[in-house]
Amino acid sequence: MAKKKKSIFNKIVFLINTFFAIGLVMAFLLPYLSPKGFGVISLLSLLIPLLIIANILFVLYWILIGFKKQMLQSFIVLVISYFFLPPLYIFNNDETSIKKETISIMTYNVRKFNLYEWLNITNIEDNIKQVIIDENPDIVAIQEFRNFEKFNLKYPFSSKNTTDKNVPSGLVIYSKYPIINKGNIASNSRAIYVDIIKKNDTLRIYNFHLETTGVVPEEDYLGIKKSEKLIKRLRNSFKSQQEQIKILNNHIKDCKYKVIVVGDMNNTAYSWAYKNLKNDFKDTFVEAGEGFGKTYEFKKFPLRIDFIFTDKQFHVRSHKIVNAKFSDHYPVKAILEL
């Protein structure tokens, strides 16, 4: 049987395929490159979901046209990436019956309750309040919270901190369980914590909101000047995140209780920020999630930038993205077994 020859078109496709495959291999190193030392290179972490999807499409393309040897390039890289990178997509996780003592926690960036009317929806705060009531988590950690008098979740315990002085907004933690200690972690770290009592156990909950990247999906960043400004802003944001994570990690290191860390990382699971904030914690999406785990609305691209990290002593029973479109973020809820 005559061997199939590649057309000029397929040779070009294979060249492009090689470029994307090499890009994904390089991505394995990104979590180890400090934003302060490798500012521009660290920006590539935002593109890793695109690189993974592109390599999957190349594998399918070569199989469909009958060039199986060519598909091995991307196939091998994807197999290796499975062991080096957090999953982009998780297939169905069957939720097991919950019998032991559990605690449920939700993190939600509410985008200042639509202060600047990004969404054409009235009474956003009431809608968000109803989402939380319906989900009924034991702990609620909110970012970009504005202290509306009518936003009363009727949780018996809470702790708030204002981090944005221009438009007063910040972080809040609501709890059904007694808070015996609470505090803010340095003004530039954008994080707060509470210690709660659950029966005879003391748990430390951190709520963080790392430096924003300033990327606005509604805006057009095409053009050299705009692109240069965007790259500079991203680089500076990632450097600020590095400093914030350092402060937060130093605080966590001194904690003697079981720890849960939740919030808006403003970065992906393929970044230096993720690797160094997750440390040895469990990522509830990896443990019990499903699908892409998209938490941020970015032109239908599946970005996961909101996280729940837990101490290894917890067993993650479930991880859920709540389909509530009242912010540019989706609420994330997890149930943990104590």
Strand partners, 195: 181, 204
Whether residue 184 is found in the same domain as residue 235 = yes
Whole-structure pTM value: 0.91
Parent domain of 172: 102-337
Residue 90 is assigned to a structural domain of this protein = no
Whether residue 231 is found in the same domain as residue 297 = yes
- Give me the pLDDT at residue 220, please: 47
pLDDT in tens, the chain (338 residues): 455 667 999 999 999 999 999 999 988 888 998 888 887 777 788 889 999 999 999 999 999 999 989 999 999 999 999 999 999 999 876 665 666 789 999 999 999 999 888 899 988 999 999 999 999 999 999 999 987 667 889 999 999 987 666 666 789 999 999 999 999 997 666 899 999 999 889 999 999 999 987 666 555 454 445 667 777 888 889 999 999 999 999 999 999 999 999 999 999 999 999 999 999 999 999 999 999 999 998 877 789 999 999 999 999 999 999 999 999 999 999 999 98
- Give me the pLDDT at residue 44, please: 80
Residue 3 is assigned to a structural domain of this protein = no
Whether residue 132 is found in the same domain as residue 237 = yes
Please give the Cα distance from 230 to 72 (Å, whole number).
36
Residue 288 is assigned to a structural domain of this protein = yes
Whether residue 108 is found in the same domain as residue 52 = no
Whether residue 213 is found in the same domain as residue 314 = yes
Whether residue 321 is found in the same domain as residue 200 = yes
- Give me the pLDDT at residue 1, please: 47
Whether residue 115 is found in the same domain as residue 69 = no
- Give me the pLDDT at residue 4, please: 64
Of 57, 84, 111, which one is at a domain's C-terminal end?
A: 84
- Give me the pLDDT at residue 21, please: 96
Whether residue 80 is found in the same domain as residue 108 = no
Whether residue 52 is found in the same domain as residue 167 = no
Residue 97 is assigned to a structural domain of this protein = no
Tally the residues of the chain. Answer: 338
- Give me the pLDDT at residue 99, please: 64
Residue 218 is assigned to a structural domain of this protein = yes
Contact 73, 18 (CB under 8 A): yes
Of 33, 49, 84, which one is at a domain's C-terminal end?
A: 84
Whether residue 167 is found in the same domain as residue 311 = yes
* CATH number, domain containing residue 276: 3.60.10.10
- Give me the pLDDT at residue 232, please: 82
Residue 96 is assigned to a structural domain of this protein = no
- Give me the pLDDT at residue 222, please: 47
Whether residue 80 is found in the same domain as residue 42 = yes
Residue 186 is assigned to a structural domain of this protein = yes
Whether residue 39 is found in the same domain as residue 149 = no
- φ and ψ at 309, to 5 degrees? -110, 140
Q: Closest Cα to residue 101, out of 138, 54, 64?
A: 138
How many separate domains does the chain show?
2
- Structure tokens that stand for 308 in this block: 């729940």
